[in-house]
Amino acid sequence: MLCQALASYSRQCRGEGIIIKDWRKKFGCPMSCHSHYEICTSPCQPSCPFPDQKSPCPGACVEACVCDKGYVLSAGASGVVNCEKLTCASGEVCGVRDGVRGCHVKQGRCSISQVGLLTSFDGMSGVIGAQGAFQVASLCDETNTMWFLAVVCSKGASPTVDTLYVFFKETAVTVNSQHVTWLRRA
């Protein structure tokens, strides 16, 4: 994660004409190369379609792997990511999940205190003001292997959370002040 952050910072600096030298070596972030690493090289390297690429290339220098003498890049692939300005939708964040950079659903936390204070995934809070069973969280797609449903039951003159039930595809969990019970369907 540190290496990715430093690479991004270095790339931004290069875009502004500032070269940060030897940062990969200092922080132990080697670039995996089948040739050799250059901190600042032309974005247009010799390739199979253009093996004699010698003329100056427009654009700022890039951090990249450069082929050793006698070798060229395959099909002109430079290994450089072209950046675009994008914004994520409401409820999404930009980041890397499972190795994929993009807009991902913002993660949140839902909590319920024993005195009936509910804090939802979006950070809103309120008191459960009535007795009964309340569905507080679920995964809508019942065919998903990660499906679950969470229900709280409140009772008493001033409603407090008495029991939490969490249902999964093959298991149900009951939590109350006396015990936790796991039930597995056969």
pLDDT of residue 81: 44
Q: Which of 50, 52, 81 is nearest to 64 (CA)?
A: 81
Kindly give, in sequence order, each residue whose CB lies less than 8 Å from that of residue 79, ignoring residues fewer than 6 positions away.
64, 65
The domain segmentation of the chain, as residue ranges, is 2-76, 111-184
| 127-156: burial string, b at 16+ Cβ within 10 Å, e else | ebeeeeebebeeeeeeeeeeeeebebbbee
* Residue 33, both tokens: 């190369």
pLDDT lower than 70: segments of the chain: 1, 32-34, 46-56, 71-86, 96, 99-101, 157-159, 185-186
Global confidence as pTM: 0.43
Contact 165, 151 (CB under 8 A): yes
Contact 49, 55 (CB under 8 A): no
